[in-house]
Amino acid sequence: MAVIEYIDAIRLAMKEEMERDEDVFVLGEDVGLKGGVFTTTKGLMEQFGEMRALDTPLAESAIAGVAIGAAMYGMKPIAEMQYSDFMFPATNQIISEAAKIRYRSNNDWSCPLVIRAPIGGGIFGGLYHSQCPESVFFGTPGLKIVAPYRAYDAKGLLKAAVRDPDPVLFFEHKKCYKLVTGEVPDTDYIVPIGEANVLREGDDITVISYSLPLHFIEQAAAELEGEGISTHILDLRTIQPLDKEAVLEAVRKTGKVLIVHEDNKTGGVGAEVSAIISEELLFELDAPIMRLCGPDVPAMPINPPGEKFFMLNKDKVKEAMRNLALY
Amino acid sequence: MTQFASTGQNARHLELGLSNEQAIEMYTTMLTARKFDERMLLLQRAGKINFHVSGIGQEVAQVAAAFALDRENDYYLPYYRDYGFVLAVGMTLKELLLSVFAKAEDPNSGGRQMPGHFGSKKLRIVTGSSPVTTQVPHAVGIALAAKMKKKSLVSFVTFGEGSSNQGDFHEGCNFAGVHKLPVIFMCENNQYAISVPLHKQLAGKVADRAIGYGFQGLQVDGNDALEVFRVVKEARERAVAGDGPTLIEALMYRLSPHSTSDNDLAYRTKEEVDTNRAKDGIPKFKQYLIDNGIWSEELDEELQLRIRKLLDEATAYGDKAPFPTPESTLLHVYAGDAEQGGIQ
């Protein structure tokens, strides 16, 4: 089993799915000749031709809308939004169209579409190259939303997304592209959409998160072990639909829960996870539900102290975890 | 039609490749759409249905365009006034009435969407929504798929002139122009976007917008059935030959208010409406058929009776058909959720 980068795992998933099914194709700005601004689609045009690694005009609503049309015809498009910050012009196509095609046609038409978009900060991208837009789409039934934190899940979830009969938003964290490496089988496997994953078993506190912050949480958990704090970590992996049973089971394990995400706190995924826990397990809790999230500002600044202030890191999550353990 | 031996071999419809039977079928479909629409307005006034959005004044272009397409293979993305179009590509009055009454058996949406939100995979009518113009990029995507799969088909999409201001129109046209895709954009320019008249919607012509996207744009009299048929047929020939898209601006007039919730005389005069009613293409096409000796007032009366009977039957059927069960509201959010009892 090879150790590869998170970005290589995404590319490998696309390559394998395009080899498996000739209806799978990639479209987006710069995805062809250049191979993507992050090199995510590098080599696909050479292998599959310019129609299947299609450079599109710079127009996100058309990238999504054309992909939706092709999907309704029976193709399996993977539309790339260069940055999730630039996905908002396509929001009408995603929310009014892709999400509702099966429902509004009473199961006559479907939209097997994947939209990939890099999320998150930590690269000095400023306000418009750093956002986490998942809460904009979260709560729109008809969409599935996944956000892998490691290379193995990136490949498996993307392959599952391509094969899914419904539209899937695939949020890949751009900070993970090169920073995160891991063992990825070169075999054909999928990670099922809708299944959370226990990353670490523990008895004192439960931390629930997704995407990049899980790396900080794992590091902090290892250090807190030395302080006698045992951490149970749940990776949601799929944000929508949420794996409710896995959330409840993880919280029951310790009775203390911290929810962590980079997206800002108000109206974020953590608010819904917290509500689920409150509805089902309030009297089994030994501490108030805690959240550690990005601050409620429009987006992160480009100046290094400002970005550092906005971003989560090992120390911030470690402190929050310790506070919860000591509660 | 041997009884009409007087039909000249140089009749325009024959020159365009339409048989006498097809020309009569076109007229029959236009008239059916008109009668359907008038009946819906009556049903709404009578309190039988809540709402109707009318296509009166637009049927000629809709039906003529449909007849110029390959009705076995092409894909259609009609907008909400296209009753004439969907009737011409195979939807029945009964199916339209099931939609009007929002009944479970409605093939468009199972009683979920407003009437006029068409969809039928069997008929290749692509499901549509209410935010206008979102269907334009979808049509381009289907054309892209056809090109990738080397299928000889076109996608045909309609929209109003108001929609030609939306970003999705421009983004879709540009994409189709760049990739020379087999798509026909037909703007049904009915002069009004609800209350806002054409001159407040755009300073130029809709058709001229094609110039900026590198393909042909043209205007056509939407009340002239055979002229619409000709330009759509030629656009289709270009599309399947790999010569790319065409933008057709069919000029017409919305004779009805925007919808049954709209008082159009608040923003236009009765005189203006009457002037345009005199240009209605349906009686013109009927006269054309009579002049060519293939139609008569007697046949027309028979046809009107036949349509009325079909409408009566369809209305009764739609009215009596059962609604969807309340719990079915939970179904079809995702594939396979019906088996799991819906989303909970």
Rounded distance, CA B209 to CA B196, Å? 20
How many domains is chain A partitioned into structurally? 2
CA nearest to B145 within chain A? A70
CA distances from A321 to A196, A209, A289, A316 (A): 20, 13, 12, 9
What does DSSP say about strands A144-146 and A114-119: parallel, antiparallel, or unpaired?
A: unpaired
Cβ neighbourhood burial of A123 (10 Å; 0-12, 13-18, 19+): middle
Retrieve residue B200's tokens.
């407040």
pLDDT at B5: 47
**DSSP states of A230-244:** -EEEEE--EEES--H
B129 and A96 within 8 Å at the Cβ level: the answer is yes
B171 and A61 within 8 Å at the Cβ level: the answer is yes
Are A252 and A221 in contact, with CB atoms under 8 Å apart? no
Closest CA to B188 of B199, B198, B180, B178: B198
Q: Note whether residue A14 is domain-resident.
A: yes
Q: How confident is the model at residue A162 (pLDDT cuts 50, 70, 90)?
A: very high
Per the listing, tokens 């995507």 go with B141
pLDDT at B340: 73
pLDDT over 70 (residue B6): no
B262: amino acid identity, one letter: D
What percent of chain A clears pLDDT 70, i.e. is strictly above it? 100
Q: Note whether residue A190 is domain-resident.
A: no
Domain with residue A93: its CATH number is 3.40.50.970
Rounded distance, CA A257 to CA B326, Å? 38
Number of A–B residue contacts, CB under 8 Å? 141
Domain parsing of chain B, residue ranges:
2-260+267-330
User: What SS3 state is found at B252?
Assistant: coil
Active-site position among B112, B267, B268, B317: B267
Domain B2-260+267-330, what architecture?
3-Layer(aba) Sandwich (3.40)
The last residue of a domain, from among A153, A184, A215: A184
What percent of chain B clears pLDDT 90, i.e. is strictly above it? 95
What does the pLDDT average to over B304-331? 97
Same domain, A215 and A153: no
The last residue of a domain, from among A138, A157, A184: A184
B137 and A166 within 8 Å at the Cβ level: the answer is no
Domain assignment of residue A150, given as a range: 2-184
pLDDT digits (tens, 9 = 90+) for B283-302: 999 999 999 999 999 999 99
Rounded distance, CA A64 to CA A56, Å? 11
pLDDT digits (tens, 9 = 90+) for B100-152: 999 999 999 999 999 999 999 999 999 999 999 999 999 999 999 999 999 99
pLDDT at B7: 58
Domain with residue A257: its CATH number is 3.40.50.920
The last residue of a domain, from among A132, A162, A184: A184
**Catalytic residue at B258?**
yes
pLDDT at A252: 98
